A and B are shown apart, each in its own frame.
Chain A
């Protein structure tokens, strides 16, 4: 890295650009900062003290902000509900310090935002995320179902997911048989729902929805000559 001082920092700055409304948006894409910090902390123990920033504090701040925004409140409004100063809310949301808010503080914030704080196993979290994906798919294909009634990891939930998958195949077929053929040809779009990546394909007005395959339950059917395939999988233990 000795040449560092000899090399210019990447290129020359173009003429002044004002930050305006972008023509595009990243939406909810990208990993939050706490993911990066957690990896860095694992490799460099104690680094959070050096930088004054920790994954725990940033994650807590992010979740407080999400709870507040879900209520449609400003920091001022949340502070008022709690009888606190707005600066305190701002500090928490920014992940100020290296330890983050105490459990007591988080509980108070959650309570006024109508949230419960629960500890879930990773398997439970996966099941909830998966159920969320199913719920959103069911909004697009309302004839599919029923959705799993209870979200508890295990054979019962897996069986309910598989049953949903089966009925989804028929629902998707019905849905797309009503869609006019598109001259646009075939394209594939990758998307993400609740952290689960899926690929959505469109081919001459017919679409295939695919989710990551851990345990595969597929339902291939033919719809007026065009292949229609639905793959939904439930992540088993």
Chain B
């Protein structure tokens, strides 16, 4: 994806904002995650090298393990001619043991469907629908 028109946003709620999640991170992983965001934004890091974890209504959600913590982000193809453009939405950037809730379940850093059902999916629904 080209740099022109590339946009990057972070999601705010529910249940807590990405910014609040990021604030809970220690400085070292936070720096690592922000550096990764910068690299993606600048095109120094191709997001396609990250794993596609899920997709929501055709929008792929990539996951990156950065500094031991996780970042989940959506990439929308905005089209554009001659240069394509994309919009990157950070849906989660936080502690792997964040303990987000989905019903009676709590994410423990490995039961990833809870992270999906409890945080990322509701954000996708609010963000894209």
A residues whose Cβ falls under 8 Å from a Cβ of B: 1, 3-4, 7-11, 13-14, 16-17, 19-26, 29-33, 35-37, 39-40, 43-44, 47, 50-53, 65, 69, 74-75, 90, 93-96
Which residues of B1-25 have CB atoms within 8 Å of chain A's CB atoms?
A: 3-12, 17-19, 22-23
Which residues of B41-88 have CB atoms within 8 Å of chain A's CB atoms?
A: 41-42, 48, 51-60, 63, 65, 68, 70, 72, 74-77, 79, 86-87
B residues whose Cβ falls under 8 Å from a Cβ of A: 3-12, 17-19, 22-23, 27, 30-31, 34-35, 37-38, 41-42, 48, 51-60, 63, 65, 68, 70, 72, 74-77, 79, 86-87, 89-90, 96-97, 109-110, 112-113, 115-116, 126-129
Within the complex, what minimum Cβ distance (angstroms) separates B5 from chain A? Answer: 7
Q: Does A94 contact B41, Cβ atoms closer than 8 Å?
A: yes
In the assembled complex, which residues on chain B have CB atoms less than 8 Å from the CB atom of A22? 57-59, 76-77, 128
In the assembled complex, which residues on chain A have CB atoms less than 8 Å from the CB atom of B10? 30-33, 35-36
Q: Does B51 contact A9, Cβ atoms closer than 8 Å?
A: yes
Bound form: Cα–Cα A93–B2 in Å? 13
Bound form: Cα–Cα A62–B97 in Å? 33
Q: Does A36 contact B87, Cβ atoms closer than 8 Å?
A: no
In the assembled complex, which residues on chain B have CB atoms less than 8 Å from the CB atom of A23? 57-59
Closest to B25 in A: A40
Q: A10-B63, A22-B77, A24-B59 are in contact. Are A94 and B9 (CB under 8 A)?
A: no
Bound form: Cα–Cα A52–B34 in Å? 9
Q: Does B52 contact A14, Cβ atoms closer than 8 Å?
A: yes
Q: Does B30 contact A7, Cβ atoms closer than 8 Å?
A: no
Q: Does A1 contact B97, Cβ atoms closer than 8 Å?
A: yes
Q: Does A17 contact B55, Cβ atoms closer than 8 Å?
A: yes
Q: A14-B52, A22-B58 are in contact. Are A9 and B76 (CB under 8 A)?
A: no
Bound form: Cα–Cα A220–B37 in Å? 48
10 additional contacts (CB under 8 A) given A4-B68, A23-B59: A8-B110, A17-B52, A30-B12, A30-B89, A39-B19, A47-B31, A51-B35, A52-B38, A53-B34, A53-B37
Q: A22-B59, A36-B22 are in contact. Are A30 and B127 (CB under 8 A)?
A: yes
Closest to A74 in B: B4
Q: Does B19 contact A7, Cβ atoms closer than 8 Å?
A: no
Q: A21-B79, A43-B23 are in contact. Are A10 and B59 (CB under 8 A)?
A: no
Q: Does A21 contact B77, Cβ atoms closer than 8 Å?
A: yes
In the assembled complex, which residues on chain B have CB atoms less than 8 Å from the CB atom of A32? 7-10
Closest to B24 in A: A43
Closest to A39 in B: B19
In the assembled complex, which residues on chain A have CB atoms less than 8 Å from the CB atom of B89? 26, 30
Bound form: Cα–Cα A19–B60 in Å? 7
Interface centre among B34, B41, B86 (most CB of A within 10 A): B34
Q: Does B4 contact A90, Cβ atoms closer than 8 Å?
A: yes
Q: Does A40 contact B23, Cβ atoms closer than 8 Å?
A: yes
Q: Does B23 contact A51, Cβ atoms closer than 8 Å?
A: no
Closest to B34 in A: A51
| Those 4 A-B pairs whose CB atoms lie nearest each other, nearest first | A30-B9, A10-B112, A23-B58, A13-B51
Q: Does A3 contact B60, Cβ atoms closer than 8 Å?
A: no
Q: Does B75 contact A4, Cβ atoms closer than 8 Å?
A: no
